[in-house]
Amino acid sequence: MNLKNHILVCIALMLSISMFSQQGKQKRADTLFNKFSFVKAAEVYRELIANNYNKDYATRKLADCYAFLRDPNNASRYYKNVVKQENVPIEYYYKYAQSLRGMKKYDESQEWLQRYKDSGGVVNANDFSKDINFITSVFGAKQQYFLDRVYFNSKYSDFGAFEQNGKVYFTSSRDEGVAVKRLYGWNEQPFLDIYVTDAKTKRNVDHSAKLKGDINSIYHDGPVTITKDGRTMYFSRNNFKDQIEVKDKKGLTNMKIYRVTLRDSIWKDVEDLSINGDEFSTQHAALNSDDTKLYFSSDRPGGHGGSDIWVVNINPDGTLTDLKNMGDVVNTESAEGFPFINNENTLFFSSDGHTGLGLLDIFGTIKGENDEIVDVINLGVPVNSNSDDFSFAMNQDGITGYFASNRKGGRGSDDIYAFHRVPSLEVEGVVTDAINTKPVPKAMIKLFDDKGNQIAYMETDENGFYQINIDRNKDYRIVASQNKYIDDYRDFTSKNLQTELTNINANLLLNPKPDVVKLADLNTTNLDYNSNITSQDSTGVKSAELNPIYFDFEKYNILKEYALELDKIVKLMTSDYPDMVIRIEAHTDSRGTHEYNDRLSTNRANSTYNYLISKGVNPSRIAEHKGYGERRLINECADGVSCDEAKHQLNRRTEFIVIKME
């Protein structure tokens, strides 16, 4: 063999050895990938790409590694190259669309999702493409949740915070302060344990805060939920027995929910629940408001795909019965998990199958008339982001709570975020007929701001009920009108309200417009009190009107000449018509502010009422005495209109409406 041939043989051998080496690396990378060791697998796939060995395949697998590690930035970076490959499987169009959504590139995400569909791909019914205006509507919605600082996050994974009796229980892979750490191959972090600390702590938490008792094992433990009496805990843990992992037919170790009891301040007697199985995962326990139902997520057979939310009854003896899937309104073909039930028995959960902002988003549920779940609603920003948002829990006050996210700006891979909620505020009430106390349907309700601008309107329902969303820290006026009635209004404020308050009550009372016959002129001494002085309106209620009395400008004292008129009314009510019932309505002219005139008219109504009572009229015979300010002017003399004093005088009056006379 000459030198040239020798060199060629050496080169061939070197190429062969290199090829075998690269083949070995690919096999190693695939083995790591199949064992869910995505961090280590990604390192090897990057080496294969650098060495230009089976580059298209390695790029696809590397992108998948980052997708499983919930890293949309790097996943998108490599999926962008993948979708340029010839004959690439169309599922990568969908994966690329998902990663773009995780980076808030929503328009590009829609384009690649459409390309996936045009290539024959099928998306589930709840895919994020179903509502192209969703992103705009979520970011434009009024914010209800506001973030608060949490001091006990670490550089590792922290989630599943649950607060009870001043303590917060959470799940973490920190294991800080110990000499030896056991690492979980998926993300190369220590296994999860359950920790507990003071809810108000401003100090970091190390291994000394691990929950004491039979809770934490050498594998994954957490998250937890605890009964209201604090005696029973349900928690997630890897399926293992006698310190050995139990694997399913695919070689995977699934999750189970265990129950443990607090005895002498120590959690003891771990119990494997009947809902668990070796061939599927059961995890993320949550209890309803009275601890009679256990909610959880599971990928057991019979679901809708991925993992679903399930519920089971907890009997008084602790047995679990009537296992039920929460149905297709809640569950999708993708993953649902981390259920939580608040004090009002509203279900919250995380999902990457419902329309969301990114990867996992947090959703609440809406119930119908029969208490069944009819829809889900995205909680919006800042609870949800373009990353994973999960493990939502609300405290007993219904206002504060926690969730977890791996969004940018956190301290570790998953971080716990505290929130306080400012719930939406509504003004609501019932419009009632002042005479027969029956509700008034189809009354027009108008809402005005403090500058008199109309900002909302609606009609009352068949029960006279109305309800309108309003902003906090504002002044309002609500006006009710109906063509058979005299308008009524109420001024109210939403300033300085407790955060927990969600509605303001503003009932309104409408007086029918009576078909009145004026009483005879009471100035005559020969008044025929047996004359026909009553009439009936459309409701059948007898009504009449007595002569009004008038007041000086900005005064509410009874003038001498009008005291004589009041004395005649006293005689009518005490001698001539002992069953007569009246209503007193006092008014002002238009000069002065609305607030001032409301007070002035109320004082006029009070002084009139007090005069009649002082003269012997039974208080029960005066159904109501009320001031209406300037809103019932009887002539054109409104604000800004030039009127003489005589015309203004006509508006400064108290009227007497006879609502019963037998």
Q: Virtual CA dihedral for 97, 99, 101, 105, nearest 10 degrees?
A: -90
Of 16 and 281, which is predicted with more confidence? 281
- In angstroms, the CA 551 to CA 559 distance is 7
Residue 437: exposed, middle, or buried by beta-carbon count in 10 A (0-12, 13-18, 19+)? exposed
Q: pLDDT tens across 538-594, in order?
A: 333 333 447 899 999 999 999 988 998 899 899 888 887 888 888 899 999 988 888
Q: pLDDT tens across 212-222, in order?
A: 888 888 888 98
Name which of 196-200, 365-369, 643-647 the model is least confident about: 365-369
CA angle 229, 233, 234 (to 5 degrees): 135
pLDDT band at 437 (very low <50, low <70, confident <90, very high): confident
Residue 85: exposed, middle, or buried by beta-carbon count in 10 A (0-12, 13-18, 19+)? middle
Q: Virtual CA dihedral for 638, 639, 641, 646, nearest 10 degrees?
A: 60
Residue tagged 């938490």 (tokens): 205
Q: Please determine, for residue 405, whether its predicted confidence score (pLDDT) is greater than 70.
A: yes
Q: Name the residue type at position 287.
A: L
Helix (H) or strand (E) holding 169: strand 167-172
Q: What number is the average pLDDT over the span 102-112?
A: 82
Among candidate residues 605, 606, 587, the one with its CA nearest the CA of residue 651: 587
pLDDT band at 514 (very low <50, low <70, confident <90, very high): low
Q: Please determine, for residue 626, whether its predicted confidence score (pLDDT) is greater than 90.
A: yes
Q: Name the residue type at position 542.
A: K
pLDDT band at 528 (very low <50, low <70, confident <90, very high): very low
- In angstroms, the CA 408 to CA 189 distance is 19
The pTM for the full model equals: 0.57
Q: What number is the average pLDDT over the span 384-413?
A: 89
pLDDT band at 447 (very low <50, low <70, confident <90, very high): very high
Strand, coil or helix: what is 610? helix
Q: Which residues pair with 236 in a beta bridge?
A: 257
CB count in 10 Å sphere of residue 63: 26
Q: pLDDT tens across 194-244, in order?
A: 999 998 888 888 878 888 888 888 888 989 999 999 999 999 999 987 777
- In angstroms, the CA 324 to CA 309 distance is 9
Name which of 29-33, 329-333, 485-489 the model is least confident about: 29-33
- In angstroms, the CA 607 to CA 624 distance is 13
Among candidate residues 617, 547, 551, 615, the one with its CA nearest the CA of residue 589: 551
- The span from the first CA to the last CA of the chain, in angstroms, equals 137
pLDDT band at 636 (very low <50, low <70, confident <90, very high): confident
Q: pLDDT tens across 611-623, in order?
A: 999 999 999 999 9
Strand, coil or helix: what is 133? coil
- In angstroms, the CA 180 to CA 578 distance is 95
Strand, coil or helix: what is 578? coil
Out of 9-23, 114-128, 157-171, give the one with best mean pLDDT. 157-171
- In angstroms, the CA 276 to CA 253 distance is 13
Helix (H) or strand (E) holding 73: helix 72-82
- In angstroms, the CA 268 to CA 119 distance is 56
- In angstroms, the CA 470 to CA 491 distance is 14
CA angle 441, 447, 448 (to 5 degrees): 150
* Tokens matching residue 120: 């024959």
Could you list the beta-strand ranges (E) of 100-166: 145-148, 158-164
Q: What number is the average pLDDT over the span 22-47?
A: 78
Q: What is the DSSP letter of 35?
A: T
Residue 210: exposed, middle, or buried by beta-carbon count in 10 A (0-12, 13-18, 19+)? buried
DSSP string, 202-255: -S---GGGBPTBTT--SS-EEEEEE-TTSSEEEEEEE-EETTEE-B-TTS-B-E
What b-and-e string marks burial along 328-345, b requiring 16 or more CB atoms within 10 Å of the CB?
Answer: eebbbbbbbbbbbbbeee
